[in-house]
Structure 1
Amino acid sequence: MSVALLLVCAMCLDAALGEPDWLWSRLRHPAVLIGQGIGWLEKRLNHSGQRRIKGVVVLMLLVLVACALGQFLTLFGSLIEIIVCAILLAQKSLVTHVRDVGDGLRASLPEGRAMVARIVSRDTTDMSETQVARSAIESAAENLSDGVVAPAFWFLIAGLPGLLVYKAVNTADSMIGYRTERYREFGWASARVDDLLNLIPARLTCVMIVALSGQWGRWSDILGDARKHISPNAGWPEAAMARALNVALAGPRSYDGQMRDLAWVNGDAPRNIGAYEVFRACDMLWKVWGLALALLSVWVVINLVF
C-alpha cells in the first residue's frame, strides 16, 4: 500500500473518530508520553552551564528515538501505520476545540473565555468577545498547519519515522522553545528545528486557504503580513485566514500579565468579531482538509492507473 493511500485512510479515520474520550481516558496519548519524556529530561539537564549544548543533545535523542520507534512500528503492517498516523493527526479535535469556543461565546462571554483558555497560552481572564474570537481563529490557523498539514506532509515524505520525528520536535518546541530566561538556551535547538520542519507546511497551508477563498489578488498583502509576524511560519496561515474571513487578527495581547504590542494582520478589516466568524473558521478548516484529501486521492489514482 502506497504512503499516499495510507495517509488518505488515516485522514479519514481521524476525521471520523478524532480523539475519543473512552480511549484516552484509559490510555496515555502518544503526545502526552512525548511531553512527559521531554519534561523529565528538562528537569534533569536544564541547569548549570552548557544549556544550549544540553538542549542540542536532548533534541538529537528525541529524533533518534522517534525515528527508531517509527521504523519499528512499520514492521507491524499498514493497519498499524494508519492507526498511528490517525492518532497523531489533529483535524477533528482541532475543529472540535475551536467550535467549542464559538459555542461558548454564544452561551456567555465567561464560557467563551473558559473554552479559549484550553487552546491558547495568552491571558484570557479579561478578554472581550472580540479578543476571544480572534484568539480562537488565530489558533485555528496556526494549528491547522502544525497539527494537520505538517504531520501529514512529513508522513508523506518519510512515513512513520518522519511523522514521529516531527511530533517529537514540535512537542519539544511547544514546551521548551520559548525565549524566556529558563528556556532561551536549552530550547534553542528545538525551536530552530521546529521552524525548519514547518517551513514548507505553513506555506502549503497558506496556499490552500488562499486557493479556497479566492484571495490570490491579495497575495502581496498576505506576504507582507506573514513577514511581520513574530513567528517565521505561523504568520502564513494566519494572514491567509484573516483574508479568507475578512477579519483583523493578531494585534496587542497579554501574556503572563504583560501586554505585548504585536502587529495587526489584515488590520484594515473588521475587528469587532464573534462566534459567527469562529464558526466560519471551522468551515475553512474542513475545506482545507477536503482539498488535501482530494489532491492525495488524485495522486493515489494516478499511481494506480499509470
Structure 2
Amino acid sequence: MRGSREGLLLGVALDALLGDPRRGHPVAAFGQVARRLERRVYGDSKVRGLIFTGVLVGGAAGVGAVLERVSERPVWRMGVTAVATWAVLGGTSLGREGREMARALEVNDLEAARGRLSHLCARDPAGLGESELARATVESVAENTSDAAVAPLVWGLVAGVPGLLAYRAANTLDAMVGYRSPRYERFGWAAARLDDALNWVPARVTGLLVVACSGGKAWRVFRKDGGKHPSPNAGRCEAAFAGALGVRLGGVNAYGGRVEARPEMGDGRAPEARDVRRAVRLSAVVTGAAALLVYGVRR
C-alpha cells in the first residue's frame, strides 16, 4: 500500500505538533458510543462481553477499511493514514501529562500531583509521597509509550488504517471495562485478553527500542525483570525503563481499595521528581525511533 508508511510518519509529526484536540477527540467519541452500547448489552457474562468487544472493535476496523477503500490514490492514502495515525496516537499528550506531574513534584506541591495522577493511571493517590508519585508516573509513562505510541504504529504498519483504528478501539475498551472488579470480572474479560494479545509484540518492541536508545543496563534489567510483572506486557516496558533510568520500579499499589504487591524491577534507587522528566524524554526518543523503524520496514 503506497503512501501508508509515509502517512504513519506524517501522523507522528502531526501528533508532535498538535497533540490531542481539546474537544471532539475521535477516541472520546468512540468511548461515548461504547458506553451507550454497554448500557444495552451489559450482563455478568463473558459471552456478552465478547459480543460487546467484537462489535466495537470490528466496527472500528470496518470504518478503517471503508476509509482505505475510498482513498485509492497514494496521496489520498497517505493523507487518510496520517489523520488516522494522529487520531490514535497519544504520545504528545502523555508527555504533557508527565511534565505537568514533574512540575508539581519539583515544587513539592503534592496535592496538585495527587490530583493529576488520575490523568495517567487508576492508582489511588491518597497519601502518596514524592517518590511513590514519581514511581507511578514513570511506570505509566513506560507502559503507555507502548500503548499510546509504539503499538499503534506497529498495527498501522501491519494492517493499515483498519489496524490503527481497531487497535485503539481495543485499547480503549480495555481501559474502560478490562480491569478486575465485581462489575467487569466477566464482562471485561474479552476486552482485556484482546488488548493483551494485540500488545504482546509492541511491548517487546518498545522494550528493545528502550535498550537500543539507552544501552546495556536497560537490556540487563529488561531480560532479568521483564517477566515479573503480573501483566504479560507492561513489565517489559517498565523493566527496560527502570534499567535505562537507573531506578527501581514496582512495589505496593492501591486501586480503589484493592492493594497489589508487585515485584520490584531494577536495582537502582527509588524514583525522584527529576526522573519523571527523564522518563518523558526517553519516551519521546523511543517514539521517534519507532516511527523511523516503521518507515524503514519494507512491505
Q: Same fold (TM over 0.5)?
A: yes
Displacement after TM superposition at 1:20 (Å)? 3.8
Displacement after TM superposition at 1:104 (Å)? 1.2
Partner of 1:73 in structure 2?
67
Partner of 1:129 in structure 2?
130
Question: 1:290 and 1:165 mapped to 2: Cα distance?
Answer: 22
Partner of 2:85 in structure 1?
85
**Preserved CA contact (<8 Å) 2:218 2:241:** no
Out of 37, 45, 61, which is 2:41 matched to? Answer: 45
Displacement after TM superposition at 1:31 (Å)? 1.1
Letter in 2 for 1:287: V
**Structure 2 stretches of 5 or more lacking a match?**
none
Calculate the aligned-residue CA RMSD, in Å.
1.8
Q: Measured at CA, do residues 281 and 71 of structure 1 come closer, stay the same or move farther in structure 2, by a change above 3 Å?
A: same
Partner of 2:277 in structure 1?
279
Partner of 2:94 in structure 1?
94
**Structure 1 stretches of 5 or more lacking a match?**
none
Partner of 1:161 in structure 2?
162
Q: Measured at CA, do residues 86 and 197 of structure 1 come closer, stay the same or move farther in structure 2, by a change above 3 Å?
A: same
Displacement after TM superposition at 1:116 (Å)? 2.0
Letter in 2 for 1:165: A
Q: Deviations over 1:12-38 (max 9, x none)?
A: 1111111243xx2xx2x1111221222
Q: Secondary structure at the match of 1:124?
A: coil
Consecutive aligned runs of 4 or more in structure 1 exceeding 3 Å deviation:
217-221, 296-300
**Preserved CA contact (<8 Å) 2:98 2:141:** yes
Q: Measured at CA, do residues 44 and 156 of structure 1 come closer, stay the same or move farther in structure 2, by a change above 3 Å?
A: same
Q: Secondary structure at the match of 1:198?
A: helix
Alignment map for 1:218-229 (pairs within 5 Å) = 219=219, 221-229=221-229
Partner of 1:269 in structure 2?
268
Percentage identity across aligned positions?
37
Q: Measured at CA, do residues 270 and 163 of structure 1 come closer, stay the same or move farther in structure 2, by a change above 3 Å?
A: same
Count of aligned pairs: 291
Question: 2:218 and 2:166 mapped to 1: Cα distance?
Answer: 35
Displacement after TM superposition at 1:220 (Å)? 5.1
Q: Secondary structure at the match of 2:254?
A: strand
Displacement after TM superposition at 1:102 (Å)? 0.2
Q: Measured at CA, do residues 96 and 185 of structure 1 come closer, stay the same or move farther in structure 2, by a change above 3 Å?
A: same
TM-score (norm 2): 0.92
TM-score (norm 1): 0.90
Alignment map for 1:152-301 (pairs within 5 Å) = 152-215=153-216, 219=219, 221-266=221-266, 268-271=267-270, 273-299=271-297
